[in-house]
Amino acid sequence: MKEFYTKNKKGIKIGLAVFFIIIIISSIWLFIMPTFKTNKYGNRLKDLDKHKISNKTISEIKSKANENDSVLKISYHREGRIINISMTVDSNFGVDQAKEFANGLLSLFKDEDKSYYDIQVLIKANDKSENYPIIGYKNKNSDSLNFSTGGN
């Protein structure tokens, strides 16, 4: 055994070094990887399945927008507990009318969903406008949208 060690001293040291490097890398990998497997929202979405926004509600939002000639385009997107609605309106559409229309969209959601989700409505004009864009935000604890303008 002593002869084997003396003849292969360099190879044994390299083998042990590679073995320990593999152990260290796998330990780091196992320590870091569990965080990648978890949901980025943690347990904040645990009741999400109880508050699904139905396709009917989404189509009602779109049909209400189609009924208004000044609303040219509308889109819906949900990310976690935030609902994003983006609207493109005619640049001649009054700001107060746009805000009223956006607040009217809230009535299409169930009360329990309104108290679960934060809702954002981005209203932008089809042409350059001093009055647009406008963003409305409703926290899950509030009843209506609060608006801020991004126009000049």
Q: What is the token pair recorded at 22? A: 């593999």
Residues 146/138, Cβ–Cβ less than 8 Å:
yes
47 burial level (CB within 10 Å; 0-12, 13-18, 19+): exposed
Give the span between the Cα atoms of 64 and 109, in whole angstroms.
13
What is the block-wise mean pLDDT of the chain (152 residues), using blocks of 10 residues?
A: 78 91 88 66 72 86 87 89 90 88 89 88 87 88 83 52
Reported as type and span, the H/E element at residue 88 is strand 82-89
CB burial of residue 117 (10 Å; 0-12, 13-18, 19+): buried
- Residue 111's pLDDT is 86
